[in-house]
Structure 1
Amino acid sequence: MRYFTKIALLTVAVSVTPLCAQQKDPMIDHIMNETYQNSQLEQLAYELIDGIGPRLVGSPKMQQAHDWAVQRFQNWGIAASNEQWGEWKSWERGTSSIEMVAPYIKSLEGTQLAFSPKTPAKGITAEVIALPLFQSKAEFEAWLPKVKGKFVMVSQYQPSGRPEYNWKEFATAESFERYKAATTEATSAWNRSMENIGHTWRSLNKPFEEAGAAGIIWSNWSRGFGVNKIFSAGTKKIPVVDVSLEDYGQLYRMLQHGTVPKLRINAQSKDHGTVATFNTVAEIKGTEKPEEYIILSAHLDSWDGGTGATDNATGVITMMEVARILKKYYPSPKRTIVVGLWGSEEQGLNGSRAYVSAHRNKMPHIQAVFNQDNGTGRVQNISGQGFLHAYDYLGRWLNAVPREITKEIKTTFPGYPGSGGSDHASFVAAGVPAFMLGSLSWSYGNYTWHTNRDTYDKIVFDDVKSNVALIAILTYMASEDPEKASTERIKLPIDPRTQQPAQWPEPKEPTRKGGFE
């Protein structure tokens, strides 16, 4: 513990060096001026988010995004290509409508989930049934035949669509405590029921499809006003839709009061079979040490409930803008600068894992990886990811960045190796100093991460510009550094679960053929 405290103190000393102690560097001035006076971010965002749209792995939109990125890089004089790493089911979203046709007519807010089978052209009309709580698997199996020919509601009922922060702000203390207690108990009861029947949300749809359900209705509330998570259907023959909390709640209450609603769901989509999946890789060749690399990392794919603006178009346009600026003012870097726009991060870091696997010989020669993948906020925290001397070289590079950008950034050294969550983990597992640039939240987890509201209007361009300047300067400093960054790792502590020394994460192979489960 004393050892880690010592490192933490060293970190503070490095990261708070006054701006006046920095040497004036014309390159940093060029980067700052280009970032703030000639930004291309809004144009790039429009082209990718509004012009192309969501980028579900394997979809035609994903391929369009790969081709767009290659063309953009080439227009800037940067070599780029698409590297195939696997194959995926190619699904293309069509129109969807969800109508309550009895006891009266009402259009419901919702959409089909990714990879959902389509309905007949005129849709499917059926009554609704809600999944109750169960005490045992036998009780569930006895109930299961009731779903035949019906739309099955499979999400927990939410009696209040107000997020907790809204309750906390306006409710009395007593009312807020009652709300929290009731919510906690309802969630616990639901989770116990799921355990009793032996299913999770990932496997829940299968028994209903096998029992002859007409379709499945989810409401995966994201704990904010008007937001739901939009993931995969997980069925082969019947449609799966997600319905807003408000409309789902009305259907549930009708059933509770003895009224059986009838819905008509029309969900159209196209199955294009199997297609190749890619990473887009761009490169500015180094001059003095071309066989050493700095990688700018972001994933190009998204879920498709919204248009993937903050997950992860912001990361993509950040890295592309950094590359554009460096090509303009730093066209002959000492080390090779690589931009990796990965595919299928959302299904398990597949694109970056494939890159690590295909380029094993490069891994020992990578100076650093800078990864951006958590919304639109300015960078606020950076971990050393378990690399013992990260405080030294990363601290030097950060010290060159103007204080107005770094003043809110908190560093944690030596940190702990990331084993998942985003693409930096693929490189960390291979022993590469790879750093997740953690951003200010802007309510990312509730309002945009994998939701139907992850759209262009949620981008805060001032914060994204700050990240462009930060990453461009870090990349420049990492390239110019006369020393190769150390890859020495910390000795990991005892894992409290196993009482054995924790293990450094191991590289994993990607899923190279997916979307068919």
Structure 2
Amino acid sequence: MLRKTSLLIALLLANSVFLLAQEQDPVIQAILKEANENSQLETLGHELMDGIGPRLVGTPQMKKAHDWAVAKYAGWGISAKNEQWGEWKGWERGISHIDMVYPRVQSLQGTQLAWSPATPKKGTTAELVVLPMVKDSMEFVKWLSTVKGKMVMVSKLEPTGRPDYNWEEFATEKSFEKMKKERDEMDKAWNANMKNMGYNSRTLPEALEAAGAVGIVASYWSKGFGVNKIFSARTKKIPTVDLELEDYGMLYRLVESGQKPQIHVVAESKDLGVSPTFNTIAEIKGSEKPDEYVILSAHFDSWDGGTGATDNGTGTLVMMEAMRILKKAYPNPKRTIMVGHWGSEEQGLNGSRAFVEDHPDIVAGVQAVFNQDNGTGRVVRISGGGFLNSYDYLGKWLHAVPKEITDEIETTFPGTPARGGSDYASFQAAGAPAFSLSSLNWSYWNYTWHTNRDTYDKIIFDDVRNNAILTAILAYMASEYPEKTDREKAVLPISDRTGEQLEWPTPRSPERKGGLEEN
């Protein structure tokens, strides 16, 4: 008993000294000085978002971004490489131009969706039609015979282009409630009609293509002024374009009033066959425990409606800047500090899942993973991820971070593991202590998440700088921590949905041949 008590006292004293040392720690002071006086964030952001642009998996821009990151790390004296983990449908975006040519001429705001087939070189001109209201699938099949040579509008008509917060500010309560009721009724009617047709948003484009339509026109409004979500086409030979709400609504009303509008679509793109997919991995080798790892984590890919600034350009900048700062302020870490810039997160965490599957030795040696993904805002939430004793070490590490940063952060311990959402979930599923540095909203979900407005000008660099400081200090503290982090899992709560106790997620294999036809 005396021996156990002595050991406990020794550990407490060691941790007290560990924490006390942080108050005047020269490494932390050097981190703060470098981050605040020599920040590279704006330059990195400009080069990545404005110069390289969006980073859709399988595109030349994605490979260009990987090569750019390796070159940047090399310039900072950090070892880096591109590690191939799979293949993807290769595609390169070209010019999109969409014009109404009848009953009058007007250029329209829109773009082709990712992996859309191209139009002929001179474009495609066709009359627009909207989906009919049908009683059953037989009636819809009969209507399908009428779409040959037409462009089909496949999204619902939005009753208003004003987001709810604008209505709340200016409308009367009666008017606002009336609009919401009408919108709900329209949504119910639309969903019921889709069910009657026997198709959904994923299968409908293929049916229209098979019936002879020459193009698909969609509009996925993101419930904010001027924002649409831009995802992928599901056609194989005909183009799919997304029009912004205002132009889509105008055309829809013209069709309904019998004016038979026509549009001319030029969608230039290249099918590049099979393209390799990569993760960019960089590391500062540990001097005492090189086989234990502190991993900085952010996905590198994006959708390509905008330039992927807040999803996840900002997470990428945080991790690159943190690594740059650590190389200057802490060049000989005790544990290896590694960064993973993952590919194809947007299609299902594929890059990080591949890394976890391919490197069980590294996963076994993980001290901590710090992941940042959800936008440009300062970090305001950190969860223990379901690791029972995560407070013991995360709490100590956070204590070393300036209070002006940690005062903004709400922590939850032990928390629960993620089942998806971002790349830290890949590590948690394998039992490695991985933590999400979750950011302040900054209207992320409506205005920048997967939208045409996710661009450099939406970055809040003061917040990103705080996040880089936080990440660098956490990485330093995790590297120096005397003990290996505890991986004991908490007993998970009862699911509100099923009424049964939640189970820890299990690792999932990545998609390694994305978008490629089966032989």
TM-score (norm 1): 0.94
User: In the aligned structure 1, how far is the partner of 2:126 from the partner of 2:464?
Assistant: 47
The offset of 1:277, in angstroms, is 0.6
Q: Per the alignment, do residues 486 and 200 of structure 1 end up closer, same or farther by CA in structure 2, a change over 3 Å counting?
A: farther
Q: Per the alignment, do residues 107 and 79 of structure 1 end up closer, same or farther by CA in structure 2, a change over 3 Å counting?
A: same
The offset of 1:483, in angstroms, is 1.0
Q: Deviation per CA, 1:21-69, whole angstroms, max 9, x where unpaired?
A: 9632121111111111110001101111111111110100000000000
The offset of 1:203, in angstroms, is 2.3
Within 5 Å, which residues of 2 pair with 1:134-153? 134-153=134-153
The offset of 1:184, in angstroms, is 1.9
The offset of 1:191, in angstroms, is 2.1
Specify the alignment match of 2:429 in structure 1. 429
Specify the alignment match of 2:61 in structure 1. 61
Tell me how many residue pairs correspond in the alignment: 499
3-state secondary structure, aligned to 2:441: coil
Specify the alignment match of 1:30 in structure 2. 30
Of 287-296 and 20-29, more deviation after overlay is shown by 20-29
Specify the alignment match of 1:264 in structure 2. 264
The offset of 1:139, in angstroms, is 2.6
User: In the aligned structure 2, how far is the partner of 1:334 from the partner of 1:492?
Assistant: 33
Specify the alignment match of 2:501 in structure 1. 501
3-state secondary structure, aligned to 2:146: helix
Within 5 Å, which residues of 2 pair with 1:87-486? 87-486=87-486
Q: Per the alignment, do residues 332 and 20 of structure 1 end up closer, same or farther by CA in structure 2, a change over 3 Å counting?
A: closer
The offset of 1:496, in angstroms, is 4.3
User: In the aligned structure 2, how far is the partner of 1:439 from the partner of 1:276?
Assistant: 32
- Residues 97, 266 of structure 2: 8 Å contact kept: yes
The offset of 1:190, in angstroms, is 1.7
3-state secondary structure, aligned to 1:332: coil
Of 62-71 and 173-182, more deviation after overlay is shown by 173-182
Aligned-partner residue type, residue 154 of structure 1:
V
Specify the alignment match of 1:12 in structure 2. none
Aligned-partner residue type, residue 292 of structure 2:
E
The offset of 1:192, in angstroms, is 2.3
Unaligned runs of 5+ residues in structure 1 are 1-18
The offset of 1:174, in angstroms, is 0.8
Aligned-partner residue type, residue 151 of structure 2:
F
Q: Deviation per CA, 1:440-476, whole angstroms, max 9, x where unpaired?
A: 1110111111111111111000000010011111111
Specify the alignment match of 2:15 in structure 1. none
User: In the aligned structure 1, how far is the partner of 2:25 from the partner of 2:100?
Assistant: 65
Aligned-partner residue type, residue 351 of structure 1:
G
User: In the aligned structure 1, how far is the partner of 2:219 from the partner of 2:106?
Assistant: 17
User: In the aligned structure 1, how far is the partner of 2:21 from the partner of 2:326?
Assistant: 25
Q: Deviation per CA, 1:196-250, whole angstroms, max 9, x where unpaired?
A: 3333322221111111101000100000000000110111100000001000000
The offset of 1:268, in angstroms, is 0.6
Q: Deviation per CA, 1:334-386, whole angstroms, max 9, x where unpaired?
A: 11001000000111110000000000122121011111111100000111111
Aligned-partner residue type, residue 430 of structure 2:
A
Specify the alignment match of 2:13 in structure 1. none
Q: Deviation per CA, 1:118-141, whole angstroms, max 9, x where unpaired?
A: 111111111000113444222322
User: In the aligned structure 1, how far is the partner of 2:306 from the partner of 2:212?
Assistant: 30
Aligned-partner residue type, residue 252 of structure 1:
Y
- Residues 85, 277 of structure 2: 8 Å contact kept: yes
- Residues 22, 28 of structure 2: 8 Å contact kept: no
User: In the aligned structure 1, how far is the partner of 2:145 from the partner of 2:389?
Assistant: 61
User: In the aligned structure 2, how far is the partner of 1:198 from the partner of 1:178?
Assistant: 31
User: In the aligned structure 1, how far is the partner of 2:308 from the partner of 2:62?
Assistant: 11
User: In the aligned structure 1, how far is the partner of 2:336 from the partner of 2:412?
Assistant: 27
Aligned-partner residue type, residue 88 of structure 1:
W
3-state secondary structure, aligned to 1:313: helix
3-state secondary structure, aligned to 2:467: helix
TM-score (norm 2): 0.94
Q: Deviation per CA, 1:260-317, whole angstroms, max 9, x where unpaired?
A: 1011111111111111110000010001111110110011111111111111111111
User: In the aligned structure 2, how far is the partner of 1:43 from the partner of 1:481?
Assistant: 33
3-state secondary structure, aligned to 1:88: strand
The offset of 1:398, in angstroms, is 0.7
User: In the aligned structure 2, how far is the partner of 1:205 from the partner of 1:412?
Assistant: 44
The offset of 1:493, in angstroms, is 2.7
User: In the aligned structure 2, how far is the partner of 1:466 from the partner of 1:113?
Assistant: 35
Of 317-326 and 137-146, more deviation after overlay is shown by 137-146
User: In the aligned structure 2, how far is the partner of 1:405 from the partner of 1:122?
Assistant: 55
The offset of 1:516, in angstroms, is 3.1
Specify the alignment match of 2:11 in structure 1. none
User: In the aligned structure 2, how far is the partner of 1:199 from the partner of 1:432?
Assistant: 41
What is the root-mean-square deviation of aligned Cα atoms in Å? Answer: 1.4
User: In the aligned structure 2, how far is the partner of 1:493 from the partner of 1:458?
Assistant: 38
User: In the aligned structure 1, how far is the partner of 2:58 from the partner of 2:232?
Assistant: 13
- Residues 274, 516 of structure 2: 8 Å contact kept: no
3-state secondary structure, aligned to 1:158: coil
User: In the aligned structure 1, how far is the partner of 2:185 from the partner of 2:367?
Assistant: 50
User: In the aligned structure 2, how far is the partner of 1:505 from the partner of 1:94?
Assistant: 40
Aligned-partner residue type, residue 313 of structure 2:
A
